[in-house]
Structure 1
Amino acid sequence: MGETTTATETDPGAGGAPPRRRHRTTLLVAVSVTAVAAVAVVGRLGLGGGAGQPPGALPRAGSTVAVTRTTLTERTEVEGELGYGAEIPLPVRATGTVTWLPEPGATAGRGETLLRVDDRPVVLLYGTLPMYRELGRTQAPAATGTPGPETGTDGTETGKGGTGTGAGPGKATAPPPADPAPPAPVPLRGMDVLQFESNLAALGYTGFTVDEEFTAGTERAVRRWQRSLGLPETGRIGLGDVVYASGRVRLGRPGVRPGQPAGENTLSFTGSSRKVTVQASAEEVSWATRGTAVTVTLPDGRTVAGEVAGVGRTASAPEGGQAGAPPTVPVTVTVADQRALGRLESGPVTVAYVGRERAGVLAVPVAALVALAEGGHGLETDDGRFVAARTGLFADGKVEVSGPEVREGLKVRIPK
């Protein structure tokens, strides 16, 4: 189960926000019942309040505080794991012997070599459409015309299967038709061509129009690129020459060793940005919607801003197989400011999200509540009267209050 913590935003001039404290989720349900006991404990300890107290300190028993209008925010904490996410196999289509592999944890960007197969580089490009065919200029199918007339041994035309002449005595025989010219090359077309040309241009190889046609200009640019890679300048891209990914990747542990044949599990990758994975209870995952802002607390106590980027659609049994534990759903949280994470690459973290929030409500410190003889709760005014007060949200040492006589600015006492 996660833990629930609360935070509040105080009005300007209210002396700052009180320090955060953690409460179990079950305590939040029962806190209204135990408020009087809590008040008694605070009174006996003589915590906070009075002149010379630091900003945000709890009010001292016997002191007077004002009812303020503020925003109360309840925050719930769940445990998460910082890392790069699950490793995904790279769609390596090259065939042959693996001759070089990168170190696990290395990163690669557009145009960089992921591995070498038969001592040929397999290059990373950016895109979502996988490589599914060879790219290059293709020839049009050969023209199939009607065959010309057959001729006999004396050069005269013959009918099919016959030996008669096709012309009378003294007439010239017509020359055979000339062979047709070879068809001109036609460009290969498709979205995969557009994707490849976009990468080629981004790498600085130009001289063609970036579109869906693999033209002679594209071929010349490919030859220049192949020369820079130390490859034969064929002007064609083989099925296993490139691998597409959505962006820069971080390479995982390889599934083979140099000297073994390349295959589907040759190399895996993750994104290059660190993220947090939370195994959220399937019963309480409604808080996790794409774009929800959260706060991530790192192992050293520092906090960074995060945002929910994805929520799994399949619930699974929690790790450890705890009896009676609810199934969990994976929630991915991204951190925009990667530099704020420092050098930490993995480890346990805490993710806090807003559970409930009440804006513009009247609130007092929880310690100001008193139990009324007729039942319920109330507040003691500075002139000794008691006024009934209905309680609402409890958050970070404050409680939402309302009632006919409860108004902003009302001075109330912290009971001794």
Structure 2
Amino acid sequence: MGFGGNGTGTAVATRTPPATAKVTRTTLTATKTVDGTLGYGDTLTVTGKSQGTITWLPGEGSTITRGHGVYSVDADRRPLLYGTMPLYRTLEDGVEGRDVELLERNLDKLGYTGFDVDKEFTWTTREAVEDWQEDLGLDVTGKVQPGDVAVADGQIASPIVSSSLFTLL
């Protein structure tokens, strides 16, 4: 037997009228006032460590997660890394410290492999950084400058900002 058919295998279309309801126009008769503040939570200051013009900002109210752009300077995206300390020096071959571990932990969480997550920036870390830079469409240097990324302790909500261009000095 056909689906909804007459036994011949041929479907029969049936129309069901749409549900309707009578609309009544009236005046609002009750209100309630409550105390409160609307906002996006705690303020977060993002410090840029490079010079240039901010050419892109995320949309209002969007949530920025690890590896995604916080803003762009001169058309280069500055991705978010999770951590508790900002990058304060160039990370490159031979550098050691907690900032290297922060970078490597983020690269690992973003799916880059071939290095140990530790405090040493080795040639294997450089190769992962080069792959990451290539994937971001940046100049492939194998080094990470303090102004190349933004660091926060977790995801951040984009504030309401103007889309006009700002200059970092």
- Tell me the TM-score range normalised by the shorter chain: 0.7 to 0.9
Please say if 1:125 is aligned against 2:81: yes
Residue 227 of structure 1 corresponds to which residue in structure 2?
Answer: 134
Q: 1:236 aligns with which of 132, 143, 146?
A: 143
Asked if structure 2 preserves the Cα contact closer than 8 Å seen for 1:93 and 1:240, the reply is yes
Inter-partner Cα distance in structure 2 for 1:215 and 1:123: 22
Q: 2:115 aligns with which of 208, 219, 223?
A: 208
Residue 87 of structure 1 corresponds to which residue in structure 2?
Answer: 43
Please say if 1:196 is aligned against 2:103: yes
Please say if 1:111 is aligned against 2:67: yes
Asked if structure 2 preserves the Cα contact closer than 8 Å seen for 1:256 and 1:262, the reply is no
Asked if structure 2 preserves the Cα contact closer than 8 Å seen for 1:122 and 1:241, the reply is yes
Please say if 1:261 is aligned against 2:167: yes
Distance 1:134 1:256, change over 3 A: farther
User: For this pair of structures, how many residues does the alignment match?
Assistant: 136
State the structure with more CA Rg. Answer: 1
TM-score by length of 1: 0.31
> Which structure is higher in helix share?
2
Please say if 1:100 is aligned against 2:70: no
Amino acid at match of 1:85: G
Amino acid at match of 1:130: P
Amino acid at match of 1:131: L
After TM superposition, give the deviation of residue 97 of structure 1 in Å: 1.1
Residue 251 of structure 1 corresponds to which residue in structure 2?
Answer: 158
Amino acid at match of 2:132: W
Asked if structure 2 preserves the Cα contact closer than 8 Å seen for 1:94 and 1:122, the reply is no
After TM superposition, give the deviation of residue 80 of structure 1 in Å: 4.7
Amino acid at match of 1:95: Q
Which aligned pairs between 1:255-294 and structure 2 lie closer than 5 A?
257-258=164-165, 260-262=166-168
Asked if structure 2 preserves the Cα contact closer than 8 Å seen for 1:109 and 1:247, the reply is yes
Please say if 1:217 is aligned against 2:110: no
Amino acid at match of 1:200: L
After TM superposition, give the deviation of residue 116 of structure 1 in Å: 0.9
Inter-partner Cα distance in structure 2 for 1:102 and 1:201: 24
Asked if structure 2 preserves the Cα contact closer than 8 Å seen for 1:98 and 1:262, the reply is yes
Which aligned pairs between 1:34-53 and structure 2 lie closer than 5 A?
none
Which aligned pairs between 1:308-347 and structure 2 lie closer than 5 A?
none
Amino acid at match of 2:45: P
TM-score by length of 2: 0.74
User: 5+ residue gaps in structure 2?
Assistant: 1-33
Distance 1:105 1:216, change over 3 A: same
Distance 1:87 1:256, change over 3 A: farther
Inter-partner Cα distance in structure 2 for 1:261 and 1:191: 31
Asked if structure 2 preserves the Cα contact closer than 8 Å seen for 1:220 and 1:235, the reply is yes
Distance 1:254 1:89, change over 3 A: farther
Amino acid at match of 2:127: R
